[in-house]
Structure 1
Amino acid sequence: MAGCRATGPDAPGGTPDDPSVERWRADFPALQQTVDGGRLAYLDSAATTHRPYAVIRALSEYYARTNANPSATMHSLARRSFEAYEQARRDVAAFLNARDPNEVVWTKGTTEGINLVATAWGASNLRADDEVLVSVAEHYSNLLPWRAAAERTGATLRFVDVDDEGVLDLDDFDRKLSARTRLVAISHASNVVGHLNPIVEICARAHRAGARVLVDAAQSVPHVPVDVRALDCDFLAFSSHKMLGPMGVGVLWARRELLDAMPPYQLGSNMAHDVDVESAQYEHAALKYGAGTPNVAGPIGLRAAIAYVNTIGRNAILDHERALTVHALNRLRGIRGLALLGPSSAADRVPVFSFVLQGVPPIEVVRRLDAEGIAIRAGDLAALPLLKRFGVAAAARASCYFYSTTGEIDRLGAALERMEHPGRTT
C-alpha cells in the first residue's frame, strides 16, 4: 500500500502520509485557513467535502460566460449551456459505468433521489401485503421515505438487524427476505461506522427473491469506485457535495426500463411535449424527471469534481484513505475512556469514525475541538436506530477524505486526551 509502513490492515504504529497529500491539499483554498490561530483540521467530510480550485473555476466560468437557460435550439449561450449540462450527464454515466446517459437523473441530492423512487416507483409497484426491507443502520434519508411509502400504499416496512459492530446481519437479511419483498433499500457505506455492505451479494439474493434494490451511495461514491453494472443494483443515489462538487445537486441512477415505466415525480416545463388542454406526452427516461428550469451549474460543478478525482486517481485515493483508517483506528483506540463504535478492522470501510468519550457529551466534544481549529460532527447523526443498537443516543464523528492527513488525526487524538486529562499539554 502506497504511503503505509504497516504490513497488515491493523498493524500498530503511525503511518506516514503519501507525499502527494500536501500537493492535493494546495488545491483546496478552504484548507489553508486558520481557526483560532491554528491551521484548520477539517474532519467532517462525511457531512460535506471542500471544493478544489478546479470546481470553483468551473462554476465561476459558467456564470461569467454562459449562464443561460439551456436549449438545443435557441441562441448560442443557451446551446452552450445545454451542451455543458448534457456532457455532465454523460460524464456521470461513464463514472458509474452506466449503459445509457439517460439513466442519470439530476436531483437536489441523495435525499431527493430516494424520495423520487419511494414516491414514483412506490406508487406503481407497492401494494398492501408487500414488504420493503431496510436495515437499522440506515440514514434517515433512506428510512423515512420508505416509511411514508409504506403508509401510503399499505405495504410493510421491515428492518434487518446488524451485529454488535454495526455490520449488516446477512442471516437476518435472509430470514426477512421473502416472496413479499418488493424492494431492498440499503446503504453502501454507513455514515456512522463507515462499514461497506456487500452490495453485489445483497443484490443477488434480492433478485433471486424477485425484489428490486436501491443503494444509498452517498458515503461510498466519494471513496471507492462504484460500477452500477458490477453491483447489479436497480437504483443508486448519491450527492455531489460529498465528493468535492457543489451543494444542491445529486444523482439518481436507475435502469432505463424502470424510469420509462415510472410515473413523473414532478410536472412542468421541460419534461413534456405536445401539451394540450386534454393531453400531454411525457419525455422518456431521465428527461421525464427534469421538470422546470434546471440547476445547470450544479452538474457542471460535479463534472469538474469527477474530472479532478479521476486526475488524482481512484487507486491513490484508496491507498491513502486505507492508511488514514489504519492510523485513526490505532490512535483513537489508545485513548482512555473513548469507545469507538463499529468494526475494529480497517478492512471494508471508508474513513468514518464515530465515538463516545466518557464523561464528555458529544456536543461538548465538538465545542472544545472547534476551539482548537478541529472540525468534527456530533448528535444522532441522522441514524438514531443504529446508535440505539450501540446503547447510546448521540455520538461524535470524525471523518476523512483524501486531503486529510495523519497529522490531523494526531491533533484530534491529542485534543481528546486533554479532555480526559485536562492538565496534559501534549
Structure 2
Amino acid sequence: MLDVQKIRKDFPILNRTVNGKPLIYFDNAATSQTPQQVIDVIVDYYSNYNANIHRGVHSLSQEATDAYEQARIKIQKHFNAKQSHEIIFTSGTTHSINLVANGFSSLLKKGDEIIVSALEHHSNIVPWQMLCERTGASLKVIPMNENGELILSDYDALLNEHTKLVFVNHISNALGTINPIEYIIEKAHAVDAAVLVDGAQSCPHLKPDVQALDVDFYVCSAHKICGPTGVGMLYGKEEWLNKLPPYQGGGEMIAEVSFAKTTYAGLPHKFEAGTPNICGGIAFGAALDYMNHIGFKNIAKYENELLDYGTEQLLKIEGLKIYGTAKEKTSVISFNVGTIHPYDIGTILDKMGIAVRTGHHCAQPIMDFYKIPGTIRASFMFYNTKEEIDAFIVALKKAIMMLS
C-alpha cells in the first residue's frame, strides 16, 4: 500500500496555491511533477561536478561521465535491454521517433508500406508522413472503435509482405487506452516488419520489458516519469541501430575525421552528436530510482483506484460524456459536458486552482473521429488523492452551472 500523504511531501510544488486555492494538479499526462529527490540530484550536478563528458581527463569530467553512463545503465536495467549501448539518450520521445524515421529514409522505397494507429499523438504521425513523402512509401492506419480501442481484425488485414514498419503507442495520451502491443508486435514480426512503440504515456504507469515484448524500438520522455524536461531515450535492438545511419553529425559521434572522409563511432555514440543534456540524463536515472522505490505494481494498483473513483463520480454529472471507455486503460479521463466548450470549463477550473488539459491533446484524428473540437482531460498520478477528485467534482459542477 502507498503512503500517499508521505509521498506528497516529496513534491514541493504540491504545496503551492494557484489563484488563492491549493493546487490540484491533474495534467500529469502532459508532464508529471518532480520530487525533491530528483531536484536534489540536479542541484548537486550543477553545484559540484558540472563538466563536459567523455572527452576530459580532469576529475570533474570523469565524475560527470561516470554519473551519466551509470544513468544509462539504470535505464537499461529498468527496461531490461540486453546491452547498455542499446539505450540512446535523446531530448525526448519526439526526438527519438524522428531519429528512427530519418534512419528509415535509407531503408524504404516506393511500394513499401508502414502502419500507424488511429490513436497516435501527432509526434507519432507527422514524422512518418514526412518519411513517406521522402521515400514514396504508403502510410496505412489501424482504425479505432467508439470505445477508443484499435480494431485488430483490420490491423491483421493491413499486414502483408510490403509492410516494413509498424508504430503504435503503448497507451493513448488522449483516451488512456492501453493497446495490445504484444499482439501487434507478434503479428508485425510474422511479416518481417519492425515495430516502434511510443511509451511516453505508459512508462509513468507500468514497467515495460523490451526483451519480453521483443519490440524493435521503444521510446519515452523523462518529464512524464517524475524527471526533467528535455531528455528521453530511444531503445533499439542492436541489429537495428547498426542498420540506421547517424541522425546528426558533430562531435562525439565520430571515430575519425578528415576532410576526405569521416568514420562514425559505434553505439551509442553514433546517435549522440554534440554535448548532451548531461544533468538531464543523470536526473532521468534518479527519477527511475524514485519510481522503482515506490514500486510500479503499487503505482498501478493505486492509480486504477483513482481512475475507477474519478470515473464513477464524473458519470453522476448530467450530460457528461467520457471519451475512451476501453476495457484496458490507465488513469486518464477525457470528457465533455453537453455543448459547453472544453476550454471554457478548463479556464474556470484554473481559477479554482485545478490544472486540467483542454483541447485535442495533439491527437486531432481522435477528435475528428468523435466529431468534437476537443475534450477536458483529467490525468492522475500516484501522488493524487480521492479528496482532490472530490474537490475537482465540486469545482466542475460550479463551472457547469456558470456556463449553462
Output the TM-score relative to the length of structure 2: 0.98
Aligned partners of 1:132 and 1:182 also within 8 Å = yes
Q: Does 1:180 align with 2:162?
A: yes
In 1, Cα distance between the equivalents of 2:403 and 2:202? 39
Alignment deviations for residues 97-156 of structure 1 (CA, whole Å, 9 cap, x no partner): 000000001111100100000001x12221101011001110000000000000000000
Call closer, same or farther: CA 1:305–1:398 in 2, change over 3 Å.
same
Using the TM superposition, give the Cα deviation of residue 207 of structure 1 relative to its aligned residue in structure 2, in angstroms.
0.2
Residue 398 of structure 2: SS of its match in structure 1? Answer: helix
Residue of structure 2 equivalent to 1:12: none
Using the TM superposition, give the Cα deviation of residue 71 of structure 1 relative to its aligned residue in structure 2, in angstroms.
2.4
Output the TM-score relative to the length of structure 1: 0.93
Choose from 256, 265, 269 the match for 1:274: 256
Aligned partners of 1:133 and 1:157 also within 8 Å = yes
Aligned partners of 1:186 and 1:214 also within 8 Å = yes
Stretch moving more, 271-280 or 178-187 = 271-280
Choose from 298, 303, 318 the match for 1:336: 318
Residue of structure 2 equivalent to 1:14: none
Aligned partners of 1:235 and 1:252 also within 8 Å = yes
Report sequence identity in percent. Answer: 40
Aligned partners of 2:349 and 2:399 also within 8 Å = no
Residue of structure 2 equivalent to 1:129: 111
Residue of structure 1 equivalent to 2:288: 306
Using the TM superposition, give the Cα deviation of residue 420 of structure 1 relative to its aligned residue in structure 2, in angstroms.
3.0
- Letter of the 2:279 partner, please give it: A
Using the TM superposition, give the Cα deviation of residue 72 of structure 1 relative to its aligned residue in structure 2, in angstroms.
5.9
Q: Does 1:103 align with 2:86?
A: yes
Choose from 197, 211, 226 the match for 2:193: 211
Aligned partners of 2:118 and 2:366 also within 8 Å = yes
In 2, Cα distance between the equivalents of 1:344 and 1:166? 6
In 1, Cα distance between the equivalents of 2:293 and 2:234? 24
In 2, Cα distance between the equivalents of 1:407 and 1:390? 31
- Letter of the 2:389 partner, please give it: I
Using the TM superposition, give the Cα deviation of residue 322 of structure 1 relative to its aligned residue in structure 2, in angstroms.
1.0
Call closer, same or farther: CA 1:344–1:285 in 2, change over 3 Å.
closer
Aligned partners of 2:345 and 2:400 also within 8 Å = no
Alignment deviations for residues 233-256 of structure 1 (CA, whole Å, 9 cap, x no partner): 100110000001010001000001
Residue 105 of structure 1: SS of its match in structure 2? Answer: strand
Using the TM superposition, give the Cα deviation of residue 344 of structure 1 relative to its aligned residue in structure 2, in angstroms.
5.8
Residue of structure 2 equivalent to 1:53: 36
Residue 265 of structure 1: SS of its match in structure 2? Answer: coil
5+ unaligned residues in a row in structure 2: which ranges?
none
Using the TM superposition, give the Cα deviation of residue 319 of structure 1 relative to its aligned residue in structure 2, in angstroms.
1.2
Residue of structure 2 equivalent to 1:171: 153
In 2, Cα distance between the equivalents of 1:56 and 1:372? 27
Choose from 385, 400, 415 the match for 2:380: 400
Alignment deviations for residues 308-339 of structure 1 (CA, whole Å, 9 cap, x no partner): 00111111111110111110111111111111
In 2, Cα distance between the equivalents of 1:217 and 1:422? 38
Q: Does 1:417 align with 2:390?
A: no
Choose from 342, 352, 365 the match for 2:332: 352
* 1:25-424 alignment, distance < 5 Å: 25-71=8-54, 74-120=57-103, 122-343=104-325, 345=327, 348-422=328-402
Stretch moving more, 66-75 or 139-148 = 66-75
Alignment deviations for residues 368-411 of structure 1 (CA, whole Å, 9 cap, x no partner): 00000000011111111111111212111110111111111112
Aligned partners of 2:29 and 2:332 also within 8 Å = yes
Call closer, same or farther: CA 1:417–1:291 in 2, change over 3 Å.
same
- Letter of the 1:236 partner, please give it: Y
In 2, Cα distance between the equivalents of 1:331 and 1:179? 48
Residue 421 of structure 1: SS of its match in structure 2? Answer: helix
- Letter of the 1:230 partner, please give it: A
In 1, Cα distance between the equivalents of 2:182 and 2:188? 10
Alignment deviations for residues 190-243 of structure 1 (CA, whole Å, 9 cap, x no partner): 001101111111100000011000000000011011110111110011000000
Residue 268 of structure 2: SS of its match in structure 1? Answer: helix
Using the TM superposition, give the Cα deviation of residue 422 of structure 1 relative to its aligned residue in structure 2, in angstroms.
4.2
In 1, Cα distance between the equivalents of 2:195 and 2:341? 37
In 2, Cα distance between the equivalents of 1:223 and 1:375? 20
Stretch moving more, 214-223 or 68-77 = 68-77
The number of residues matched between the two structures is 404
In 2, Cα distance between the equivalents of 1:317 and 1:205? 30
- Letter of the 1:67 partner, please give it: N
Residue 285 of structure 1: SS of its match in structure 2? Answer: coil
Using the TM superposition, give the Cα deviation of residue 87 of structure 1 relative to its aligned residue in structure 2, in angstroms.
0.6
Using the TM superposition, give the Cα deviation of residue 36 of structure 1 relative to its aligned residue in structure 2, in angstroms.
2.2
In 1, Cα distance between the equivalents of 2:22 and 2:175? 27
In 1, Cα distance between the equivalents of 2:320 and 2:293? 38
- Letter of the 1:94 partner, please give it: K
Aligned partners of 1:337 and 1:420 also within 8 Å = no
5+ unaligned residues in a row in structure 1: which ranges?
3-17
Residue 168 of structure 2: SS of its match in structure 1? Answer: strand
